[in-house]
Chain A
Amino acid sequence: MTTKALSLPVRRASGKTSRLGEGNTGPVLVVVLAILAFWYVAAILMNWQGVADAFIRAGEQRSTSEIVLATMDQERPMLPAPHQVLVELKKTVIDTAVTSRRSLLFHAWVTLSSTLLGFALGALLGSVLAVLIVHVKTLERSLMPWIISSQTIPILAIAPIIIVVLGSIGITGLFPKAIISAYLCFFPITISMVKGLTSPDPMQRDLMRTYSASLAQTFWKLRLPASLPYLFTGLKVAIAISLVGAIVGELPTGAQAGLGARLLAGSYYGQTIQIWAALFGAAILASLLVAIVSIAERIVNRSMGARSA
């Protein structure tokens, strides 16, 4: 009968086994394995009918174990087994030359370049807006409500318009997609940056005033450093949705290049393995991008003398 409020934090034994049980690695591994097992079972169940029908049509009599094996070896399965996706990933990433249109790296690069350009534009726009909003009261009261309510509308629906309109005046390729990404990702940056720039409390601002610091000095020496932790939180969200914007921006142009085009082409021709491989490619890209922002955050925090949390 222990009570939670009174219980002291007990120092745990720091053996390797207990750390595994304590940390999240063990449970995550188990859950991932469970998902993989579930995936195999689902692949067998969902592909069963198609395989069985194919054998009946071919007039062959096959045993159950043969059908089970065949469900994981189809060319266009309902649900490809994980190893099929891995084989496809290896084939399109490692075995194919990067310059080839069959290479997933080629398509990932197309998507990545517009993601990064859009992210840079969005970060610039978002932080400039935030600085303006913090310093100009009229903007804070007139623009801020619109920025917030602009998020309750499904912005991605505008993507086809941007692509087609810019395409009709001769701007194609990277830039329209980057605009969609920028439009999507400026919001979290603005919001977090406004929060961060206003985070110094009145005492600190009063201190700056007693130093008779100018507006610019207050900004560079107090507000900006205080805003950085908030900014990085926003940047992490922003780069993830910047990628979503780039992928969706590739849909209306009709499958030319990029991960979104790969998804669309796969769905046109029923190439399920290709869809799953593109999906995994996008997931890997997203986690790499978020990881890079996290590393940048850690470096900046350390150089500013913050203790790593």
Chain B
Amino acid sequence: MNVSRRAIVLTPLALLGCAYALNLVHSPTVAGQAGLGFWAFIIVLWLAAAVALSGLSNLRPKNLNMRRLAGLCVPILFGAFLFFLWEVIVVGAGVPSVLMPAPSAIGGRFVASLPVLLADFLQTFVKSVLSGYVIGCLAGFLVAIIADRIPFLRRGLLPLGNFVSALPVIGIAPIMVMWFGFDWPSKAAVVVVMTFFPMLVNTVAGLAAAGRLEHDLMHSYAAGYWTTLVKLRLPVALPFIFNALKINSTLALIGAIVAEFFGTPIVGMGFRISIEVSRMSLDMVWAEIALAAIAGSIFYGLVALVERGATFWHPSYRT
């Protein structure tokens, strides 16, 4: 009880202190020339936040919803505090923005250059990533079905697929740029190759996941190959397939961005990153990275949501 009371008292206090410090650090007398007293204040805040967080993470509310809320609060507060430290240290110590811009500067730049970011997003994410992702995953899925039908092909392809997944596939980017030109098709091609093998390997593994008893049941229903595939083996394979979709959602974005380092038209997230880095305007680079992070997380989250809906029967979702 003692711990939780301490947390409940300390958390608002620490939040207030952080707000005060944020206000203080941006005042012209402190920014860039913060004195010893200010840093001592920050260290005290740090300790208070640590104690408050450890108290919060030890809370065990009886109510299920309250527990879920506490489980959500801890990481969010932790992340917010990291951003707070970043902001305070960068602004307070006057770190030049060519080294490390403050989060507020990045946020300002993000809002100010929304049209540019939107154009980059459309070029990289909507055109390259989405088209490559769909084609690559579909191709991997279809080849996996064929390979599953022909055991010889499966035994030949599976070790190769596992082997390729350890290779730096990203290196094909310059070749694809040479074949498909500077615009988005070359990036989509890189994404296709990168997403193909995880999908192939996972789907083949998933198709082998149905148990013998289930197979016998289908057999006793006189179900043919296709009925067994659609009614038994594909549903059983779904968790594996979604696993591949989730892995690929990150891989696809990485593939498209890195492929743009090898040559692009004058739009795209990877292009913007490499150009703005060489112009030393790091706030724009960070804004672009923030965009990539948001896009990547939402993409991943959407896939995870669909997975929840499609594989609701799976033990990991039943509570």
Identify which of B39-47, B86-94, B108-116, B171-179 touches chain A.
B171-179
Q: Is the interface of A mostly helix, strand, loop or mixed?
A: helix
How far, in angstroms, from A156 to B257 measured CA to CA in the complex? 8
Q: Answer whether residue A28 sits at the interface, using C-beta atoms and an 8 A cutoff.
A: yes
How far, in angstroms, from A275 to B173 measured CA to CA in the complex? 10
Contact A286 to B166, CB < 8 A, known contacts A24-B155, A142-B74, A157-B289: yes
Q: Answer whether residue B69 sits at the interface, using C-beta atoms and an 8 A cutoff.
A: no
- The residue in chain A whose Cβ has the minimal distance to the Cβ of B158 is A24
Count chain A CB atoms within 10 A of each CB in B158, B172, B216, B277 and give the residue with the most: B277
Q: Answer whether residue B269 sits at the interface, using C-beta atoms and an 8 A cutoff.
A: yes
Q: Answer whether residue B274 sits at the interface, using C-beta atoms and an 8 A cutoff.
A: yes
Contact A283 to B174, CB < 8 A, known contacts A31-B153, A137-B57, A152-B250: no
Contact A142 to B179, CB < 8 A, known contacts A4-B212, A282-B168, A286-B166: no
Find out whether the CB atom of B253 lies under 8 angstroms from the CB atom of A154: yes
Contact of A247 among B58, B98, B163, B168 (CB under 8 A): B168
Find out whether the CB atom of B292 lies under 8 angstroms from the CB atom of A154: yes
How far, in angstroms, from A141 to B185 measured CA to CA in the complex? 42
Count chain B CB atoms within 10 A of each CB in A28, A140, A270 and give the residue with the most: A28
Contact A161 to B156, CB < 8 A, known contacts A4-B212, A276-B175: no
* B297: A residues at CB distance < 8 A: 149, 152-153
Identify which of B19-27, B130-138, B280-288 touches chain A.
B280-288
Least Cβ–Cβ distance between B139 and chain A, in angstroms: 15
- The residue in chain B whose Cβ has the minimal distance to the Cβ of A147 is B75
How far, in angstroms, from A142 to B78 measured CA to CA in the complex? 6
How far, in angstroms, from A32 to B156 measured CA to CA in the complex? 8
Find out whether the CB atom of B250 lies under 8 angstroms from the CB atom of A27: no
Contact of A282 among B54, B171, B257, B296 (CB under 8 A): B171
- The residue in chain A whose Cβ has the minimal distance to the Cβ of B164 is A283
The total of chain B residues at the interface (CB under 8 A) is: 70
B294-310 residues with Cβ-Cβ distance < 8 A to A are 296-297, 299-301
Count chain A CB atoms within 10 A of each CB in B54, B71, B74, B174 and give the residue with the most: B174
Q: Answer whether residue A105 sits at the interface, using C-beta atoms and an 8 A cutoff.
A: no
A104-146 residues with Cβ-Cβ distance < 8 A to B are 137-138, 140-146
- The residue in chain B whose Cβ has the minimal distance to the Cβ of A272 is B178
Q: Answer whether residue B314 sits at the interface, using C-beta atoms and an 8 A cutoff.
A: no
Identify which of B28-36, B200-208, B229-237, B258-266 touches chain A.
B258-266
Q: Answer whether residue B100 sits at the interface, using C-beta atoms and an 8 A cutoff.
A: yes
Q: Answer whether residue A93 sits at the interface, using C-beta atoms and an 8 A cutoff.
A: no
Find out whether the CB atom of B263 lies under 8 angstroms from the CB atom of A267: yes
* A4: B residues at CB distance < 8 A: 212, 215-216, 219
Least Cβ–Cβ distance between A175 and chain B, in angstroms: 16
Q: Answer whether residue B16 sits at the interface, using C-beta atoms and an 8 A cutoff.
A: no
How far, in angstroms, from A3 to B216 measured CA to CA in the complex? 6
- The residue in chain A whose Cβ has the minimal distance to the Cβ of B304 is A152
Q: Answer whether residue A173 sits at the interface, using C-beta atoms and an 8 A cutoff.
A: no
Least Cβ–Cβ distance between B254 and chain A, in angstroms: 4
Contact A278 to B171, CB < 8 A, known contacts A137-B58, A169-B99, A251-B261: yes
* A145: B residues at CB distance < 8 A: 75
Contact of B98 among A32, A168, A270, A290 (CB under 8 A): A168
**Per-residue contact bits, chain B 33-66, to A (CB 8 Å; 1 contact, 0 not):** 0000000000000000010011001100000000
Find out whether the CB atom of A160 lies under 8 angstroms from the CB atom of B285: yes
Q: Answer whether residue B249 sits at the interface, using C-beta atoms and an 8 A cutoff.
A: yes
How far, in angstroms, from A282 to B173 measured CA to CA in the complex? 14
How far, in angstroms, from A244 to B250 measured CA to CA in the complex? 15
- The residue in chain B whose Cβ has the minimal distance to the Cβ of A6 is B216
| Chain B residues near A (Cβ < 8 Å) | 50, 53-54, 57-58, 71, 74-75, 77-79, 98-100, 152-160, 163, 165-168, 170-175, 177-179, 212-213, 215-216, 219, 249-250, 253-254, 257-258, 261-263, 269-270, 273-274, 277-278, 280, 282, 285-286, 288-289, 292-293, 296-297, 299-301
| Chain A residues near B (Cβ < 8 Å) | 3-5, 24, 26-32, 78, 137-138, 140-146, 149, 151-158, 160-161, 164-165, 168-169, 236, 240, 243-244, 247-248, 251-252, 259-260, 263-264, 266-267, 270, 272, 275-276, 278-279, 282-283, 286-287, 290
A to B CB contacts below 8 Å, 20 in the list = A4-B216, A5-B216, A27-B152, A27-B154, A27-B157, A137-B58, A142-B75, A153-B292, A154-B250, A154-B257, A157-B273, A160-B285, A161-B282, A161-B285, A161-B289, A164-B280, A248-B170, A252-B274, A259-B171, A283-B168
